[in-house]
Amino acid sequence: MPGGWTPNLSWITPDLAVGGSFPAGRAAALAADHGVGAVIDVRSEACDDPHELEGCGIRFLHLPTFDHHAVSQSMLDAGVAFAADARREGRRLLIHCEHGIGRSATVALCVLVDRGMGPMEALSRSKDVRELVSPSPAQYEAWTCWLGRSAPQARVPTFDAFKAVAYRHLTAGA
């Protein structure tokens, strides 16, 4: 990668990435080298510098959520709306938390379903591209609650179906 830095992100679709945090001062590289035009930061323990991001032409939304905790329904709604706006504007979106495992994946799953993917297709695709994707049980509950409210036509996966995909890395080779 230019500048010797590789961000911790995975492109789930051509315009949607899930990842972990990035160092201060790297917004320009995210924009120039990776085409990121919008960022959702789902961490409560830290926050990207909105001025740095905006100075690089990157739109920004902060949805502060504690690690392993559920993202609130209002924050999921805000994230989905922000993602839809970014897409309409032709911006590639990075949704990140600290490590790109649970909080960011939960928001991304909602975005993918909002874009028309089935819930299990969204989870499988995310897991296939980024093996780290493993929302916690509380995050699963938040996602299924969001599905019930915002995508009533979607088939809500059981926890057993969800865990077979989300936690498959824990049983691989067992």
Please say whether the beta carbons of 130 and 169 come within 8 A.
Answer: no
CB neighbour burial string for 89-111, b if at least 16 within 10 angstroms, e if fewer: eebbbbbbbbebbbbbbbbbbbb
State the first-to-last Cα distance of the chain, in angstroms, to the nearest integer: 36
Statement: 10-172 belongs to CATH 3.40.50.10490: no
**pTM of the entire structure?**
0.96
Mean pLDDT in residue range 140-148: 98
Which two structure tokens, joined as six digits, stand for 14?
A: 């051509």
Q: How many Cα atoms are found within 13 Å in the side-chain-facing hemisphere of 78?
A: 14
pLDDT digits (tens, 9 = 90+) for 23-79: 999 999 999 999 999 999 999 999 999 999 999 999 999 999 999 999 999 999 999
Residues in the chain: 174
Higher local confidence (pLDDT), 121 or 153: 121
Q: Measured between alpha carbons, how far is 92 from 94 in angstroms, rounded to an integer? A: 7
